[in-house]
Amino acid sequence: NHTYTHTMIAYIEPYFLDNDADAASVTGQSFDGVSESLHIQGEILCGGAAADIAGKDFGGMNCVKPLAVVRPVGPEDIAGAVRAALRSDKLTVAARGNGHSINGQAMAEGGLVLDMRSTAENHFEVGFLPSGAFVDVSGGALWENVLKRCVSEYGLAPRSWTDYLGLTVGGTLSNAGVGGQAFRYGPQTSNVTELDVVTGNGDVVTCSEVENSELFFSVLGGLGQFGIITRARVLLQPAPDMVRWIRIVYTEFDEFTRDAEWLVSQKDESSFDYVEGFVFVNGDDPVNGWPTVPLHPDHDFDPTQLPQSSGSVLYCLELALHYRDSDSNSTVDKRVERLIGRLRFVEGLRFEVDLPYVDFLLRVKRAEEIAKVNGTWETPHPWLNLFVSKRDIGEFDRTVFKELAKNGVGGPMLVYPLLRSSPLYFTELCMDPRVVSSLAVSYLMSKRDLLHCLYNKAQTLDEITRGVTACEGTEWDDRASVVLPEGEIFYIVALLRFVPTCAKTSSFEKMVAQNQEIVQWCVRKGIDFKLYLPHYKSREEWIRHFGNRWSRFVDRKTMYDPMAILSPGQKIFNRAP
């Protein structure tokens, strides 16, 4: 109904014009009639708090008003919003998760913003295939809630995580989803086997590696350009009970990288379960220096342990080892010492704590709570995330860490290696779900307890035949839309800047300028890098970013969103009239 869509836009638009005297009287109004006519069951909100929230993000550097905020009930509502945009001359649609974009990527100026949190509870179902366990979750679900439910109800957990879990499933899968487990299991995009997607054509499509595979790989890391993820099938594994969390300090970057690269290149049992790292200032600055390293209030950083030759910045390798409650302390200690004994860190600057697995994965939650109390959660966050090749990471360290950022960035400076394809690992074949159910009945035990027995090779069930199969480690799939630097090993670098509440606008602008300076230096020096969570303003920069993958990206756009309805905030394509 082309005419109706025009009428709807004409009806809603005046409420977004600042000089309209009547706008105030309908701010925050829910347009039920419009919802009905567009066959949208959820709410359509204009103005008010909903539009204010949708016009901002965590980065705090952009502010644009949408025409309306849609709170969809499910995929058909999302498809309805896309179809409404298709019938109009200029309307665009952006899916917004928990608002953690940095540069306005989830905004739609004068368009429709879909608040995906309204769909968070639409899916949660754990299933079992011969290849292993999985969970179907909504694209609008927070990873934090996925973790808690999977562990508490099934003793299982997804394999690959980001550091902060207050992000939606659809949000991270549209980028990559990278953290300290990615060296072993690949990014989160390599740990999903099926998606439900609403394309820019307004179609609701189920896709996987074998069904509608071009759409599946387009959407993974596709920056929201080809479809909106409404459901994802995420691989699971048995959740450990506890984690030994360790930080060790280095003065030399080459020793830090050598040890980190050695750890991520080892086979499963020969390494830690999590490997990350960060740079910090060699001084007592509470935000950027020594105090950021200890893991417990009782731990002290003793600078007298540092050699006289230490430079202006130091490096910390952050490691974690999973274990079960049934493992003895001495067993865990032996495994740790076997690995750590080979590393060349500064003796006397080693910190460790033991904590439950879920608490470890939610470790950034504490930092979030502190930032909310001191106000820095609400200030701008001009973050810069890059992938840098192993070939160039030394030069990056010399110029960026040791010069441009030698006084810190007001927040963490992460740097750690990732593998394009991870080492070989072993996975246990899981039983068919019907078999699991019938066995559970016959053994008078819950399915969850039975699965624990299966996974832990419990003697009580040794008559059950279990296959153990060697699988290739999960890798970054070239068919996905993510682009990476060359080489088997590359680094993620994240400058996670927080602006103090008392800071002048000029200090924030300096941070943004320094980010631009770093990117321009990389380009000028021929550094092999790619922005992660990319943000560019010109077509030329996007073409450089995608390199020889640009034509494929354009072809995919033509196929799945030819009118350029979706994710206008990325500023890659312009809406076709």
Please give the Cα distance from 409 to 76 (Å, whole number).
44
For residue 403, give the DSSP letter.
I
Task: Using only the alpha carbons of the chain, give its radius of gyration.
Answer: 25
Please choose, from the candidates 99, 272, 315, 274, the residue with its C-alpha nearest in 3D space to the C-alpha of residue 179: 274
Q: Which residue out of 276, 318, 392, 397 is catalytically annotated?
A: 276
Do the Cβ atoms of 574 and 225 come closer than 8 Å? no
Would you call 486 a catalytic residue per the annotation?
no
Q: Which two tokens stand for residue 129?
A: 């295939």
**Alpha-carbon torsion angle 451, 452, 456, 459, nearest 10:** -80
Residues 6+ apart with CB under 8 A from 418: 178, 182, 183, 264, 387, 489, 490, 491, 492
Would you call 163 a catalytic residue per the annotation?
yes
Angstrom distances, CA of residue 259 to CA of 67, 249, 256, 269: 52, 11, 5, 17
Sheet containing strand 112-115, edge to edge, reads 29-30, 43-46, 68-71, 112-115, 93-96
Overall size of the chain counted in residues = 577
Please choose, from the candidates 167, 190, 160, 22, the residue with its C-alpha nearest in 3D space to the C-alpha of residue 101: 167
Q: Which residue out of 57, 77, 100, 115 is catalytically annotated?
A: 100
| Residue 498: HSE in the Cβ half-sphere, 13 Å Cα cutoff | 18
- Beta-strand runs (E) in 37-154: 43-46, 68-71, 93-96, 112-115, 124-129, 132-138
- Beta-strand runs (E) in 19-67: 29-30, 43-46
Would you call 368 a catalytic residue per the annotation?
no
Q: Which two tokens stand for residue 400?
A: 């960026």
Please give the Cα distance from 412 to 490 (Å, whole number).
19
Residue that is written with structure tokens 């790619």 in the block:
530
In 280-412, alpha helices (H): 329-340, 357-361, 363-374, 390-396
Please give the Cα distance from 543 to 347 (Å, whole number).
47
Q: Which residue out of 163, 327, 475, 477 is catalytically annotated?
A: 163
Active site residues: 100, 163, 276
